[in-house]
Amino acid sequence: MLQLQYIRENKETVIKGLQKKRFAQAETSVDQLIELDRRRRETQSEMDATLAKSNNLAKEIGALMKAGKKEEAEKNKSETGQLKTRSKELSDGLEKIEQELQALLVTLPNLPHSSVPEGKTAEDNETVYQHGGIPELTESALPHWDLIKKYDIIDFELGVKISGAGFPVYKGKGARIQRAMINFFLDEALKAGYYEIQPPIVVNEASGFGTGQLPDKEGQMYFASADGLYLIPTAEVPITNIYRDVILNESDLPVKNVGYTPCFRREAGSWGAHVRGLNRLHQFDKVEIVQVQKPDNSYKALEEMSKHIQSLLQKLELPYRVLRLCGGDMGFTSALTYDMEVYSAAQKRWLEVSSVSNFETFQANRLKLRYRDENKKTQLLHTLNGSALALPRILAAILENNQSEKGIAVPKVLQPYTGFDRID
């Protein structure tokens, strides 16, 4: 959530940033916020003055009665009653203004970093790095949705029977390679200094609000209405919320956590060839890295997180590219996002497998996540997260890129985890 003081003091900068994010009501919303904030401060000031005057008059009543000045004391009582009535009116009005202000404030997306390119859609994203050659397959090569049937490693029909579309059943070597990737990604994160967390996979509304999924993405989340709990779309939500309403000491920083969880996304309205097979699921597995950093260290940390994710793709021997997302293609909460895409040889297209983002103070302000500096003052922290990695499209690329007449070769780094070197 943006800070109101910053909006008030940097109106034009905020409007330009929101416009870069393609926020339609940028100027109108900022003007409304500033006006509401002016009314809030004026109302608060009048209420404070009214309460102070009422308290002073009330203190005088006893002294006036002792001095025999009953008429003056009664006059004070009458005025005190009027002031209390006015104070209640001001308090009610202040509460209404604050509710309106908060409701509008939470609709504003985070402001983009200065390096974010202009643009409306994914076509405007900037390629900042590309690694590895594009695999050349034979004419008989199959897309992964045919390969999984050929080798009987994932069953979509059985998933439909049990749950519905988008909930596949992994079987045999398919299940084992899933487990292998999870353990490989976790082990690599631990080597990089991350601390492992196994969080709950359902969260309450406060947690959804804290990381910015609510009220922005209710339609994409599964909701257990009887308990008021949401199935998590990513481990970022429960892991980051560990630090909600927390004041860290400077010596506690940086915080580096990693966690594996299943993830759940309704993906309402998604259909077509681009979501076939493993390309888009309602339930999938993901290893997530999360950092909490001091503001002056967060962009260095973002680059380090990007390099860590790239190292995983290199060890899996997958061709990939890194994109810096344009303003119009960025997430609601992000200030700067890098997407990592792997090349799917049979589909002949790039598949997003990771996003790594710096949220600056946007989540921390919602979470009330701060640290106490050397002067004992509290300041908001920066939060970051990244997929390291999401499994479905990684598996799709491994299956497609490594196929041959002899079967599908398992990347060497996964073989100690799988116990086999080929799916056949």
What is this structure's pTM?
Answer: 0.93
| 280-305 pLDDT per residue, tens | 999 999 999 999 999 999 999 999 99
Domains identified in the chain, total number:
2
For 389, counting Cβ atoms within 10 Å of its Cβ (0-12 exposed, 13-18 middle, 19+ buried), the class is buried
Domain-terminating residue out of 39, 70, 105 = 105
Same domain for 74 and 138, yes or no, is no
Helix 11-20, helix 26-66: angle, nearest 10: 140
Are 353 and 347 within 8 A, CB to CB? Answer: no
User: Is residue 331 in a domain?
Assistant: yes
Does the pLDDT value for residue 392 go beyond 70?
yes
Same domain for 127 and 66, yes or no, is no
How far apart, in whole angstroms, are the C-alpha atoms of residue 8 and residue 12?
10
**Domain that includes residue 66, residue range:** 4-105
What are phi and psi for residue 287, nearest 5 degrees?
Answer: -105, 130
User: Is residue 89 in a domain?
Assistant: yes
User: What CATH code is carried by the domain that includes residue 126?
Assistant: 3.30.930.10
Nearest one of 89, 90, 108 to 6, comparing CA atoms: 108
Q: pLDDT class for 59, splitting at 50, 70, 90?
A: confident
| 221-280 pLDDT per residue, tens | 999 999 999 999 999 999 999 999 999 999 999 999 999 999 999 975 455 556 799 999
User: Is residue 117 in a domain?
Assistant: no
Residue list, annotated binding site: 234, 265-267, 288, 352-355, 385
User: What CATH code is carried by the domain that includes residue 67?
Assistant: 1.10.287.40
Domain-terminating residue out of 57, 73, 105 = 105
Same domain for 92 and 143, yes or no, is no
Same domain for 174 and 54, yes or no, is no
User: Is residue 238 in a domain?
Assistant: yes
Same domain for 174 and 250, yes or no, is yes
Look at 61 and 8; give whichever has higher pLDDT.
Answer: 8
Query: Is the torsion defined by CA of 52, 56, 59, 61 positive or negative?
Result: negative
Residue list, annotated binding site for L-serine: 234, 265, 288, 385
Domain-terminating residue out of 105, 135, 154 = 105
Same domain for 64 and 165, yes or no, is no
User: Is residue 153 in a domain?
Assistant: yes
User: Is residue 343 in a domain?
Assistant: yes
The pLDDT value given to residue 270:
53
Same domain for 169 and 235, yes or no, is yes
Residue list, annotated binding site for ATP: 265-267, 352-355
